[in-house]
Structure 1
Amino acid sequence: MKAIILAGGKGTRLSEETTAKPKPMVEVGGMPIIWHIMKIYAAHGVNEFIVCLGYKGYQIKEWFINQRLHLSDITVDLRDGGIEIHRQVGEPWKVTLVETGEDTLTATRVRRVANYLDPHEDFCLTYGDGVADIDIRALLAFHRAQGREATVTVVQPPGRFGSVDLNGDDVRGFVEKPIGDGGWINAGFFVLSPKALARIPAKDCMWEAEPVESLAHNGQLAAFRHAGFWQPMDTLRDKTRLEELWSANSAPWKTWN
């Protein structure tokens, strides 16, 4: 099975980092956030990826091309430029990096990588900036049991602010960022049948617009409820939180050894 990762956006709300690099290359614990996302999938047996490139996509290409050299022991012959790799280190992944346009919207990016998919096999799709302790195997099993064209992972994020527990005029305590209003939101981590690709129109559009609306309207979109950890990296504050969790060796999304 393959997983598509949307990695072409400009990440303007994280401009402190993304003026110099694409958002998926913003690091947490010294590794790009896209690496963390791939590790989540790989921990559940998904080792083939298709990355939709856009803004500063060449940096993502360069990172993957050079990763083995950065991690391995090498000898460089300065006379002829030869490189000998002695101890090869790298992830057992196959990564296809596709230029899908700098300003292209997400649905069009997916359409432009369709030729790299198996037309008879379901595939995963997610965003290049969100991590979770999601059980990918359970998600896939749920999708297959539903028998629909698509499944989306949904979560209930915490409220932005803490709340005060009141009894009349008496304060009984404080609750740190309780669950919000009870609504479920799109957390990415989709599973799709190849049939779902036919719902992407020829015009440039967002994946969450016509394609997802069509799937939902026709009863072809199931919701996989994830009650565990989920965190997008939309702002510098989000990045700082992820960095703190990683540094404290308490990152919930690190489900690999």
Structure 2
Amino acid sequence: MQCVLLAGGLGSRLAEETVSIPKPMVEVGGRPIIARVMDIYSHFGHQDFIVAAGYKALLLKQFFANYHLIANNISVSVDTGKLRLIPSRPGGWNVSVVDTGAHTMTSGRIRRLRDWLTPNETFMCTYSDGLGNVDIAALIDFHKSHGKLATVTAVQPPARFGNIELKGDRVDAFTEKVRKRETWINGGFFVFEPGVMDYMVDDMEPLEQSPLTQMARDGELMAYRHEGFWHPMDTIRDRNSLNAMCDEEVPPWMRFEDKPGAAFPAVAI
């Protein structure tokens, strides 16, 4: 199944980084976050990606055009320049990078990929700046079970501030513990039927506004609840938090229990 990666925004809240590179190229633990998003799908056997680029699209094209050099070891003859790749990790990704316009909104980016998507087939779509240990196989099964046009993965937002634990009016403790609340937000990791293109009619319309709203009104949008790890990269603080998680033996977005596939080891790039 093809997977669309929305990767064309300006990333203005990460201006310290995105003044020179597109947001999906901001590194998390030494790898661009877009590659870490792809690891999640690849764990479940999905390796056909379409990158909807925009802002600084050339840098994304250059990255993937040279990924065979980045992700593998090489042997080179300095006399002839003959290069031999020596694979250092499982491969198999097929990546198309499509410039969908510097100022196009998310629904317009999807619409502009119409000719790149396999006709009449279900496809996946997500943002290139959020990581979660989403069970992609279960997500697809859920989508197939309800027969609607679209599924969005609903997640619970991470705590951005420490909690004050109270006993009555007395402060008992300060803690980073996240309390479970019935608060769900759009975490990306969509599954779409081709019919969603009928809702993508305006290049300047964010996916999160009219298209998803109208699908919901028409009863064509269902939510897959993901209660595991999920974390966006909207700010420098978010990037630093995700960087710190890479010090763990397996980062939390790659912790899958009894799931198919195998998590690929990190590659320093």
Q: TM-score range by the shorter chain?
A: over 0.9
Unaligned runs of 5+ residues in structure 1 are none
State the TM-score, normalized to the length of structure 2: 0.89
Question: 5 Å matches for 1:110-121?
Answer: 110-121=110-121
Code of the residue aligned with 1:62 in structure 2: it is Q
Q: What amino acid sits opposite 2:7 in the alignment?
A: A
Q: 1:86 to 1:34 in 2, by over 3 A?
A: closer
Alignment of 1:133-212 (within 5 A): 133-179=133-179, 182-212=182-212
Bigger drift between 59-68 and 173-182 goes to: 173-182
TM-score, normalised by the number of residues in structure 1: 0.93
8 A contact 1:156–1:179 mirrored in 2: no
Q: Deviations over 1:34-63 (max 9, x none)?
A: 000001001011110000011111111111
Q: Distance in 2 between matches of 1:89 and 1:170?
A: 56
Which residue in 1 is equivalent to 2:26? Answer: 26
Deviation of the 1:30 alpha carbon: 1.2
Q: Is the 8 A contact 2:127 2:188 kept in 1?
A: yes
Cα contact 1:6–1:51 (8 A) shared by 2:
yes
Post-superposition offset of 1:179: 3.5
Q: Tell me the distance in 1 between the aligned counterparts of 2:165 and 2:26.
A: 38
The alpha carbon displacement at 1:180 in A equals 7.1
Identity in percent: 43
Q: 1:170 to 1:209 in 2, by over 3 A?
A: closer
Q: Secondary structure at the match of 1:253?
A: helix
Paired residue for 1:216? 216
Following superposition, the deviation at residue 86 of structure 1 comes to: 4.3
Q: Deviations over 1:119-161 (max 9, x none)?
A: 2211111001010011000000000001110000011113332
Q: Residues of 2 paired with 1:159 and 1:84: CA distance?
A: 48
Aligned partner of residue 247 in structure 1, secondary structure: coil
Distance in 1 between the 2:241 and 2:165 partners?
25
**Within 5 A, what are the aligned runs for 1:2-17?**
2-17=2-17
Distance 2:85 2:125 in 1: 36
Query: Contact 2:107 / 2:202 at 8 angstroms: preserved in 1?
Result: no
On the 8 A contact 2:49/2:94 being kept in 1, the answer is: yes
1:15-54 equivalences in 2 (<5 Å): 15-54=15-54
Task: Give the corresponding residue for 1:246.
Answer: 246
Task: Name the CA distance, whole Å, in 2 between partners of 1:212 and 1:77.
Answer: 55
Partner residue in 2 for 1:227: 227
Q: Match for residue 57 of structure 1? A: 57
| One-letter code aligned to 2:86 | R
Distance 1:83 1:10, change over 3 A: farther
Give the superposition deviation at 1:16.
1.1
Contact map agreement 1:108 1:206 (CA 8 A) in 2? yes
Q: Which amino acid aligns with 1:244?
A: A
Partner Cα separation in structure 2 for residue 57 and residue 3 of structure 1: 18
Bigger RCO (CA 8 Å, 6+ sep):
2
Aligned residues: 255
Instruction: State the Cα deviation string for residues 2-59 of structure 1 (Å, max 9, x = none).
Output: 0000000111101111111111011112111000000100101111000001111111
Distance in 2 (CA, whole Å) between partners of 1:159 and 1:240 is 15
CA displacement, residues 53-89 of structure 1 (integer Å, 9 cap, x when unaligned) = 111111111111112123231315556xx43214245
Gaps of 5+ in 2: 256-262, 265-269
- The alignment yields a C-alpha RMSD, in angstroms, of 1.8
One-letter code aligned to 1:69: L
State the Cα deviation string for residues 203-225 of structure 1 (Å, max 9, x = none). Answer: 52111111101110000000000
Give the counterpart letter for 1:49 in structure 2. F
